[in-house]
Amino acid sequence: MLNRATIDRVVAAALEEDAPWGDVTSAYLIVETAIARADLVARESGVFSGGEVFEAAFRLTDPRIDVELVVEDSAWFEPGDVLATVQGPARGVLTAERVGLNFTQRMSGVATLTGRYVAEVAHTGARIADTRKTTPGLRAFERHAVVNGGGHNHRYSLSDAVMAKDNHLAILSRKGVSITAALQGAIARLPHTTHVEVEVDRLDQIEAVLAAGVGTIMLDNFSLDDLRAGVAQVAGRATVEASGGVSLETVRAIAETGVDVISVGALTHSARALDLGLDVRIDLA
């Protein structure tokens, strides 16, 4: 999902946004021959993510800048740990600094939050999965960070799987169309490799959905008792996903109901950027 072409496209746009006509401060205050050496240092504990993205910010600014990643994506770190080192023309290092930090702070924040959710359900068989509630343009970056934190990716986009949600079902219901028949008709026309998931918000909707032969059924905003009842009712006929009302305080109990997957929008829409800093030393010789 996160390849070099995607990284370079997004990072180049961020650099263009941050210095559309160059870095005026560095150009006028820093001599052209100055060399900078810098350490990417953790100010708090967390899970590292975005090493290649961090490197790209400097490489695309000035290919003479060398970035060495000291830790790999998915590695846990503690305050004071050096995560990467940077060396090269000082003007370029200072120009790329903020963009590089913005990406890796954001991605490491997502990875760290994901890791906390994963730890809460480690004693169960439930997977923690992300959602499409991502920052526009940064989905590949944030989805990569979720995996770094030990989570799993849901469908990447609307093009990747059929996922009938409450609004889809409401439209069918208003038209008087049987949900089972509508789903069966769609499945008959779909390629056999396309996964089909359906969201329900009541126990009495489950049988009509399962009758169509779907692969996953999402129990949305169910109480813990209803989640347990839903898992028992599905009885292995489909993958059971829980969503809605999921937080670090509730996820353990949700996992213990026996669901297979717990989707958590907060992994990407509510993650706090971690405090990472670039400690720079400049050689004016």
Q: Please state, as a whole number, how many other Cβ atoms lie within 10 Å of the Cβ of residue 212.
A: 19
- In a shared domain, residues 45 and 98: yes
96 and 146 in a single domain? The answer is no
Please check whether residues 128 and 264 belong to one and the same domain. yes
- Taking residues 157-183, report their average pLDDT: 87
The answer to whether the pTM exceeds 0.85 is yes
Is 220 considered catalytic here? yes
User: Read out DSSP for 113-164?
Assistant: HHHHHHHHTTTSSPEEE--S---TT-HHHHHHHHHHTT-B---SSTTS-EEE
Query: Do residues 229 and 258 lie in contact, with contact meaning Cβ atoms separated by under 8 Å?
Result: no
Whether residue 36 contacts residue 94, with contact meaning beta carbons closer than 8 Å, is answered with: yes
Residues 192, 253: one domain?
yes
Same domain flag for 277 and 221: no
- Predicted confidence at residue 143, as pLDDT, reads 98
Same domain, 254 and 279: no
Query: What domain range includes position 241?
Result: 121-269
175 is catalytic: no
One domain for residues 133 and 217: yes
Q: What is the pLDDT of residue 285?
A: 55
CA 276 to chain centroid:
19
Tell me the mean pLDDT in the region 89-113: 98
Q: pLDDT tens digit string along 196-243?
A: 999 999 999 999 999 999 999 999 999 999 999 999 999 999 999 999
User: What is the side-by-side strand order in the sheet with 216-220?
Assistant: 127-129, 261-263, 239-243, 216-220, 196-200, 162-164
Instruction: Name the pLDDT band for 170 (thresholds 50, 70, 90).
Output: confident
pLDDT more than 70, % of the chain: 100
Within this chain, do residues 110 and 148 fall inside the same structural domain, yes or no? no
Question: Looking at residue 227, which CATH number applies to its domain?
Answer: 3.20.20.70
- Same domain for 104 and 205, yes or no, is no
Q: Does 145 share its domain with 78? A: no
**Whole-number pLDDT of residue 174:** 76
Is residue 279 among the annotated active site residues?
no
CB 103 within 8 A of CB 11: yes
Whether 66 sits among the annotated catalytic residues: the reply is: no
For residue 271, the 8-state DSSP code is P
Confidence class for position 250, pLDDT limits 50, 70, 90: very high
Query: Domain check: are 106 and 217 in the same one?
Result: no
Q: How many domains does one find in the chain?
A: 2
The mean predicted confidence, pLDDT, of the chain is: 96
Amino acid at 239: T
Active-site position among 23, 199, 241, 260: 199
Q: Is 4 a catalytic residue?
A: no
Which one of 220, 226, 256, 275 is the catalytic residue? 220
- pLDDT tens, 115-156? 999 999 999 999 999 999 999 999 999 999 999 999 999 999
Listed range (85-99, 161-175, 225-239) with the worst mean pLDDT: 161-175
Residues 44, 137, single domain; the answer is: no
Of the candidates 98, 116, 228, 237, the residue annotated as catalytic is 98
> Annotated catalytic residue: which of 116, 165, 237, 252?
165
Distance CA 267, CA 112 (A): 9
CATH of the domain at 64: 3.90.1170.20
Please report where in the chains the tokens 């499945």 appear, as a residue.
Answer: 187
Per annotation, catalytic residue among 37, 116, 132, 133: 133
